[in-house]
Structures are given as structure tokens and as C-alpha cells.
Amino acid sequence: MIEKKDFKTYILLLSAPVLLTLYRYHGYPDFFYKIFGNGYSDVDARLWQFAVFFVLMFIIPFLTIKFGFKEKLSDYGFGLGNVKEGLKWLLTIPLLVVPIIYLSSKMPDIRVEYPMAKSLLTDTSQLLKYELTYVIFYYIAWEFFFRGFLLFGLKDRFGEMNAILIQTISSCLVHIGKPEGEIIGSIVVGIIFGIVALRTRSIWYVFAIHASIGVLTDLFIIYYP
């Protein structure tokens, strides 16, 4: 007999390959252009990508927690958690990370990859819309799924370290095709962010740090070539 806790575990574990596969084949710009044609800017294609990612990695897990598991979102790191601990990480990590982001923005392979909408390199009229959508739809969904849904959902069953590794493996797979250094970095960051999320009992502190890394990378490349 499959117990209720087993059913929940199966859903959590299967959510990563199923949702990430749907994202890869229906959320990338090539699918957008196949549906709508090539008469749209690369910014539009990326906004589509962020929106699809949000539906798959935020809306579906959100509904699963509320109506499938019938559990509280705060149990999945959606609350503020330990604010004192969170603020400590918010003040400490950026001091170490910002110089690294600036230096990495000078690397040729990173400059080829970012910003994902290349038209922003010559026309910044849509930069604010792009970055806001990037932060709200992409990064909130990212942290809610990997550091919320998977990490908090699996830690009681497999233990904290195993849950950290499971969500790190899953998030690393999304980076396949990106620069080698970024893929390796995603493993390190995945572990660190997993630890921070568990210590703070919240996804919002790692969200703030992660989103800042993404936005600053774009801005350094665009304005400090």
C-alpha cells in the first residue's frame, strides 16, 4: 500500500523532471517564435519564457501545496521566517558576491550569455520592464520551487542535507547549456542557498540575493562593457 506520505514524496520528486521538461520545450524563445512568428523582439520572447516559468514553477506548486497537500505555504518557506538570521545573510553575502559578479561580467562566455535579451545591449528602452519581469516572474518562481517546494517539502523525509542535494541537482540541470563556470557555480550556490533557506526558514532572503546577482550581471554588462 502506498501511504499518504509516500504519495506526497512521489509528487515532489517527479515535479522536477516533469515541470522542467515542459519548461524546456514550451518556455524557451524558440517555442515562442514557432507559435507567434519572428515579428517579435527578443525581449517579448524572454517575457514569454519568464511567464511560462512562473506558471510551471510557482502556480502549479502553489496550488499543489494549498489544495493537494492541504498544507500551509509558510511550511515551505513562504513566510519571513527568522528575520534576524535572514538580515545577517542579506548583509554578508552581497559584500562578498558583488565584486565577483563584476569580475565575472567581464568574462567573454558570460557576456555571450547575458543579458538573455541581446537587444538590450543597444536599446535599453525595455530594460526596466524586462528586469522587473525577470525578478518577479522568474526569480520568485525559481526560489519558490527549488528552495521552497522541493527543499522544505523533502527535508522531513530525506533529511536536510539530502533535500539540499536533491534541489541542487534539479536546479543545476536548468543551467545545462550555459557557461561551464556558471554551471559549476550553480552547484555551489545551490548548496549555500539551501543552507540559508533552512536556517532562515524562508525563501525570501535567498530570493533577494539571487535576483540581485541576475540583475547586477545584466547591468554590469550593459553599462560597464
Q: What is the pLDDT of residues 3-34, one digit of tens each?
A: 666 899 999 999 999 999 999 999 999 999 99
Task: Find cell 513562504 and name the residue.
Answer: 78
Better-scored residue on pLDDT, 96 or 196 = 196
* Contact predicate 155/163, CB 8 Å: yes
Tell me the mean pLDDT in the region 183-190: 94
Contacts of 87 by beta carbon, 8 Å cutoff, 6+ apart: 205
Say what the pLDDT of residue 65 is.
97
Residue 1 pLDDT more than 60? Answer: no
Q: What is the pLDDT of residues 88-107, one digit of tens each?
A: 998 888 788 889 899 999 99
Say what the pLDDT of residue 6 is.
85
Per-position DSSP letters for 57-101, written without gaps between them: IIIHHHHIIIIII---GGGGT-S---HHHHHHHHHHHHHHHHHHH
CA dihedral 174, 177, 180, 183 (to 10 degrees): 0
Contacts of 194 by beta carbon, 8 Å cutoff, 6+ apart: 147, 151, 163, 164, 167, 168
Per-position DSSP letters for the chain, written without gaps between them: ---HHHHHHHHHHHHHHHHHHHHHHHSSHHHHHHHH-S-S-HHHHHHHHHHHHHIIIIIHHHHIIIIII---GGGGT-S---HHHHHHHHHHHHHHHHHHHHHHTTSHHHHHHSSSSGGGGT--TTHHHHHHHIIIIIIHHHHIIIIIIIHHHHHHHH-HHHHHHHHHHHHHHHTTTS-HHHHHHHHHHHHHHHHHHHHHT-SHHHHHHHHHHHHHHHHHHHH--
Mean pLDDT rounded to a whole number for the chain: 94
Q: What is the pLDDT of residues 174-184, one digit of tens each?
A: 998 888 989 99
C-alpha cell at 137: 516572474
Residue 54 pLDDT more than 60? Answer: yes
Say what the pLDDT of residue 3 is.
65
C-alpha cell at 101: 559578479
Say what the pLDDT of residue 5 is.
65
% of the chain residues with pLDDT over 70: 98
Q: What is the pLDDT of residues 99-154, one digit of tens each?
A: 989 999 999 999 999 999 999 999 999 999 999 999 999 999 999 999 999 999 99
Say what the pLDDT of residue 94 is.
77
Tell me the mean pLDDT in the region 198-208: 97
Residue 2 pLDDT more than 70? Answer: no
b/e string for 120-131 if b means 16 or more Cβ within 10 A? beeeeebbeebb
